[in-house]
Structure 1
Amino acid sequence: MSEINRTSAWSALKAHAEEVGKRHLREMFHDAPDRFQTFRREAAGLTLDLSKQRWEQDTVDRLLELAEQAEVPEAIRRLLAGEKVNISEDRPALHTALRLPEDASLVVEGEDLVPGVHATLARMDAMVERFLSGQWRGATGKPIRDVVNLGVGGSDLGPLMVTNALVDRRPDASHPVEVHFASTMDGSQLAEYLARFNPETTLFVLSSKSFTTIDTLSNATTARDWLLARLNGVSREEGVDRSLVMRQHFIGISASPDKMAEWGISSDHQLEFWEWVGGRYSLWGGIGLPIALVIGMDGFRELLAGAHAMDRHFQTAPLADNLPVMLALAGIWNNNFLDIRAHSILPYDGRLEYFAAYLEQLEMESNGKSVTNKGEAVEYSTCPVLWGQLGPNAQHAFYQLLHQGTQAVECDFIAPLSRYDDVTDSATRAHLMSQHRLTLANCFAQSRVLMLGDDAIDDEGPRPGHMRYRGNQPSTTLLLERLTPATLGALIALYEHKVFVQATIWGINPFDQWGVELGKKIANETRDIIEKREGVEAMDASTRGLIEAAWRTSDQ
């Protein structure tokens, strides 16, 4: 395939954008009252409304032709067949294998991956059962009550987002545990936990694919020393045996079992993390242990099933009816043809508080690339700047810019249709359901005003310029029947596959992150200079000045 911007479909879209880009969404809705039916897609418990995108059916047809010329169908087949789609690291990207059912089979390089995946799930199941029944006990014999996940990036954002979203799905358990997260290398999150948790009933999960991430290991070393110091002498005069503390208070999740063992984690308290799963795609396996501790293994398997349902849809649906493909094409249209380089994620459900942060990593770490798979500089925009916040809160923060600023922004509105119908007390249920209707009203109204601008308001006569709204801001609305493990799994998988489709069209690799790796390398070198106080003369003037300022402060 030639570079995508040199294809006939790309050229046709550039010319088409000159015409359609001049039209306002209010005109498009006026001319086609059935737009919602035309641009609605449904699958796996999700409804995708693309009618407020600044496009027409002709646009979609041309974008589908672009997808065909970019060989998207073949790319989907290769991804799900386990072929080496991670070009720079010469390996497959098999996060979808983590959610295959037990009776499935996926043979990659002569090995069926499914048995190993389900062996890890079975080990997780046994661990979760021990925790939730009060049988996982610390070194002094007391049941573990607090579990702290030590990880960063995909080892933190995925489990943090899902546990927060599904915390109300806790199963009945004789001994529920509280799950917490510490990711910052400065120790600020961890310090707060260490100040108030009982070391006898606290366990740490070390989540790191390489088991070399300095952020995680710094926190882990502090946690280990805290446990050993605080537990010494708790149960008997001679103190608690170090090996017993390490065994009962640490679980490791990594692709490097040797490094986990060297650090002191018992082999039967390790969960496997495969090299063919990227960190930001990893919540579906062992990295999801904190999720399973909150929602139980049945709930975790529902999460996997929801994601697998979206995988099947992605694999089998025609491009024109394929939710990930259509969502990806909307982004391509905005980014590359309408010159909209900002994208905001706006969930209208407090449980999805961390969803925008999760997508920031998923999309920008995956597609924040400027070199093609052929090693050439790209000649077009790739990933837009992605950010977001809970929609109701964002309305009082940055919606002013969305409605009246100078920047064009694509928005994704996300909301569940049903909530609170299971609340037992009738009066409380009525109040909460009323609040949910208010939330939906805000969600729908905001996307409508962004679309129509002044036309959304009953005209009471001329208004000054500072009270006018231009509208014509494109948006997508994603509705879940209700927020469950299954629909959340489908939602996450939808965005994973959207990222892959866009990467395929742009001709880039969404499964590496060399920019991140470079940052880690330089940070470690700089740390050595700060600690050893040598080598600063090789630094640039700014970095040298900053390091010297740090030295002066430490000397005081």
Structure 2
Amino acid sequence: MQKKQLWELYKGRLYHDAGLELSVDSSRMNYADTFLSEMEPRLQKAYQEMTELEEGAVANADEQRMVGHYWLRAPELAPTAELGDEIRGALASVKAFAASVHQGNIAAPDNQKFVNLLVIGIGGSALGPQFVADSLGSARDRMRVFFFDNTDPDGMDKVVAEIGAGLKHTLAVVISKSGGTKETRNGMLEARRAFENAGLHFAAQAVAVTGCDSELDRTASQEGWLGTFPMWDWVGGRTSVTSAVGLLPAALQGIDVDRLLEGARLCDQSTRSRSTRENPAALLALSWYHTTKGKGARDMVLLPYKDRLILFSRYLQQLIMESLGKELDRDGNLVLQGITVYGNKGSTDQHAYVQQLREGVPNFFATFIEVLKDREGASFEVEPGATSGDYLSGFLQGTRSALYEKERESVTITIREITPATVGALIALYERAVGLYASLINVNAYHQPGVEAGKKAAGVVLKLQGEILEMLRRQPSREFTCEDLAMTLARPEEVETVFSILRHLAANPDHGIEMTAAPRIWESRFKARQK
């Protein structure tokens, strides 16, 4: 297509929100002019379903729950006045608590101000707060933020070492809706041990974000933690960043959470439009449907040309893949749906995998995110007439054109600058796009049976580990191969799992298991260490 034709197509397809200074350009999506009109009946159905969801319909049928993350930035839309008051009260509590910490009224045991923040969570209870912290953080932050976002002991040791002596002035925020999520529970216990090893009392430096009367809520109450904040059952983890899950860490860091919520609220208003050409989330969802053929046929490569947005692809991986990756549709039909999301940042990507994107397997579509403002203040010229930021912009435009020349499709999202409002708008934009796309492909975006299956499978492995340890300790003088042990436990079908467990046990001193290596590793022998 000639550049003049592309310009006309650009003008015809560009969405721009002057208030948010946000644009969505789908002109590099090669759908026919009739595509929007053909999809309009299905989109109108999606809009109606979204309206019903916002009015309080049960959307998570597995757990008979409403899905109400939109109410978090517009409490007046909550289905009951009481629920709206709860949302407003939670926000007021978050802001009051953060102000008290900053003023030193809530302080460390030595009456000095808290200067560090340790956020303990997993999945949506970490990815959203991490994205907000990294995108909006600066040297002027009120508190320095650290994360336990896994159950990796070495990773947690690394974080504790980075905090160092500052642990005594560190406030811990533990985030878990049920309080029983094992990764978060483990992180809390590891943090508690680190505080105790430093001669500190964990409860005196901890707050919780959790469900009412959850295991974590009861622990915080019994131990006298500094506070608890609500995590409602109608807010899913991957859409919880505008609840206390994301707002409490952000407020403590010093981020303007009112502006974050305002950006999300304004974007929500735009994405409620039933005029498709005036709805940026609908334009995104349509682009996804076109390029993936409504069956996840292509991956989404996210290319944000801004260092501050490097964690956006990780955040969207969970939001999109956990919401859309479904075996069955809402009618029980086998569909195997989903969109794979990956990405890093521009122009780093041009030195990583853009070569394959342009000339290799055409199994993707790109999403460019452009930020017009380079930095605070003026830039100097790295060569006559060009700054570093000019080069970044040039690389984006060049890569977009280079991909299009090879018939690689892309969408470009442009914002003026990174602010709490624009970050909130990006979060809301993708939340709504996911919901609309899910309706178009007839899957439930608000449950995650595969995640629960993985948790159950992990529980089975840990139960088997307990049986292995009991058997080895009962016969401390005997050496077992993995096959011997699987047969002794009457679990011959689990021999590979038994072998994996034994290798892990032997690599760590905690359980006292020794390994005598054999030339063929699977024939190695294991026994309990003699005391």
Q: Shorter-chain TM-score: what band?
A: 0.7 to 0.9
280, 283, 299: which one aligns with 1:342: 299
Which deviates the most, 472-481 or 384-393? 384-393
Following the alignment from structure 2 to structure 1, what is the Cα–Cα distance between the partners of residues 326 and 341? 14
Per-residue deviation, 1:136: 2.6
Query: What's 2:219 paired with?
Result: 263
Per-residue CA distance 1:404-432 (angstroms, 9 max, x = gap): 10233100000211232x33x77599999
SS at match of 2:133: helix
Q: How many Å apart are 1:506 and its aligned residue?
A: 1.3
1:293 aligns to 2:293 (yes or no): no
Counterpart in 1 of 2:79? Answer: 107
Q: Greater CA deviation, 431-440 or 142-151?
A: 431-440
Match for 1:514 among 449, 459, 474? 449
Q: What SS does the aligned partner of 1:373 have?
A: coil
2:473 is matched with none
Kept in 2: contact 1:87–1:373 (CA 8 A) = no
1:35 & 1:402 partners in 2: Cα distance? 24
Q: Indicate the residue corresponding to 1:73 in structure 2.
A: 47
Q: Which residue of 1 aligns with 2:357?
A: 402
Is it true that 1:498 corresponds to 2:433 in the alignment?
yes
Q: Deviations over 1:190-226 (max 9, x none)?
A: 2123232433212211011111111111111111122
CA deviation string 1:4-40 (max 9, x = no partner): xxxxxxxxxxxxxxxxxxxxxx36x665640001110
Q: Is the 8 A contact 1:151 1:216 kept in 2?
A: yes
| Structure-2 change in CA distance of 1:393 and 1:119 (3 Å) | same
Q: Judge conservation of contact 1:166–1:295 (CA < 8 Å) in 2.
A: no
Question: Residue 529 of structure 2 aligns with which residue?
Answer: none
Instruction: Give the alignment of 1:19-418 within 5 angstroms.
Output: 26=1, 33-43=7-17, 44-68=20-44, 71-100=45-74, 104-108=76-80, 111-168=81-138, 170=140, 176-195=142-161, 196-231=164-199, 245-265=201-221, 266=224, 269-288=227-246, 289-296=248-255, 299-336=256-293, 340-378=297-335, 382-418=337-373
Q: Which residue of 2 aligns with 1:447?
A: 400
Number of matched pairs: 484
* TM-score using structure 1 length: 0.82
1: distance between equivalents of 2:435 and 2:393?
30
Q: Give 1:50 shift.
A: 0.4
* Distance across 2 between alignment mates of 1:432 and 1:281: 43
TM-score by length of 2: 0.85
| SS of equivalent to 1:85 | strand
- Alpha carbons of structure 1 residues 152 and 40: separation in structure 2 relative to 1, 3 Å: same
Residue pair 2:203, 2:225 contacting (<8 A) in 1 also: no
Match of 1:541 among 495, 504, 523: 495
Greater relative contact order (Cα < 8 A, sep 6+): 1
Does the 8 Å CA contact 2:101/2:114 hold for their aligned counterparts?
yes
Classify the secondary structure of the residue corresponding to 1:391: coil
Residues 77/170 of structure 1: CA separation in 2 closer, same or farther (3 Å cut): farther
Check the 8 A contact 1:161/1:352 in 2, yes or no.
yes
Indicate the SS of the match to 1:168: coil
Which letter maps to 1:440? S
Instruction: Give the whole-Å Cα distance in 2 for the aligned partners of 1:125 and 1:281.
Output: 20
Once residues 118 and 107 of structure 2 are traced to their aligned partners in structure 1, the CA distance between those partners, rounded to angstroms, is 15
Instruction: List per-residue Cα deviations over 1:294-339 (Å, max 9, x = no partner).
Output: 233xx11101111111111122351232110110011011111697
Deviation at 1:48, TM superposition (A): 0.4
Counterpart CA distance in 2 for 1:426 and 1:327 is 33
Task: Give the residue type in structure 2 aligned to 1:526.
Answer: V
Task: State the alpha-carbon separation in 2 of the partners of residues 432 and 247 from structure 1.
Answer: 57
Kindly indicate whether the alpha-carbon contact (under 8 Å) linking 1:199 and 1:231 is maintained by their aligned counterparts in 2. Answer: no
How much identity, in percent, do the aligned residues show?
Answer: 25
The one-letter amino acid of 2:105's match is Q
Q: Following TM superposition, by how much is the alpha carbon of 1:278 offset from its aligned partner in structure 2, in angstroms?
A: 0.1
Structure 1 CA distance for aligned equivalents of residues 364 and 250 of structure 2: 33
Q: In 2, distance between residues paired with 1:55 and 1:255?
A: 45
**Structure 1 residue aligned with 2:423:** 488
What RMSD in Å do the two structures reach over aligned CA positions? 2.5
Query: Contact conserved, 2:22 with 2:413, CA < 8 A, in 1?
Result: yes
Partner of 1:526: 461
Is the Cα–Cα contact under 8 Å of residues 210 and 217 in structure 2 kept in the other structure?
no
Shift of 1:249: 0.8
Residue 552 and residue 128 in structure 1: after superposition, are their counterparts in 2 closer, same or farther (change >3 A)?
Answer: closer
For 1:345 and 1:529, locate their aligned partners in 2 and report how far apart those are by CA, in whole Å. Answer: 40
Does the CA-based 8 Å contact 1:99-1:307 persist in structure 2? yes
**Contact 1:345–1:413 (CA<8 Å) still a contact in 2?**
yes
More displaced 10-residue stretch of structure 1: 86-95 or 257-266: 257-266
- Deviation of the 1:64 alpha carbon: 2.4
Is the alpha carbon distance of 1:57 and 1:398 closer, same or farther for their aligned partners in structure 2, counting shifts above 3 Å?
same
2: CA distance between counterparts of 1:113 and 1:427? 52
Q: By how many angstroms is 1:184 displaced? A: 1.7
- Counterparts of 1:40 and 1:198, CA distance in 2: 49
Contact map agreement 2:305 2:346 (CA 8 A) in 1: yes
2:519 is matched with none
Q: 1:121 deviation in Å?
A: 0.9
Offset, 1:142: 2.7
Q: 1:437 aligns to what?
A: 390
Task: Work out whether residues 79 and 85 of structure 1, in 8 Å CA contact, stay in contact via their aligned partners in 2.
Answer: yes
Equivalent position of 2:480 in the other structure: none
Answer whether contact 1:205 1:250 (CA < 8 A) is retained: yes
Contact 2:362 2:408 (C-alpha < 8 Å) held by counterparts:
no
Q: In structure 2, how many angstroms separate the alpha carbons of the residues matched to 1:492 and 1:388?
A: 17
Alpha-carbon offset, residue 134 of structure 1: 2.9
Task: Report deviation, 1:84.
Answer: 1.4
Q: Note the alpha carbon deviations across 1:475-498, whole angstroms, 9 max, x for none.
A: 000000211111111111111111
How many Å separate the matches in 2 of 1:122 and 1:32?
A: 49
Contact 2:220–2:228 (8 Å) recurs in 1: no
Is contact 1:170-1:294 (8 Å) kept? no
1:137 and 1:52 map into 2 onto residues whose CA distance is 53
Alignment check: 8 A CA contact 1:246 1:264 kept: no
Contact kept? 1:97, 1:113, Cα under 8 Å: no
Contact between 1:207 and 1:287, CA under 8 Å: does it hold in 2? yes
Deviation, 1:133, is 2.0
Give distance in 2, aligned partners of 1:487 and 1:116. Answer: 26
Asked whether the 8 Å contact 1:179–1:293 carries over to 2, the reply is no
Would the aligned equivalents of 1:370 and 1:377 in 2 still touch at CA under 8 Å? Answer: yes
Which has the larger displacement, 321-330 or 136-145? 136-145
1:65 positional shift? 3.6
Question: Residue 393 of structure 1: CA displacement?
Answer: 1.1
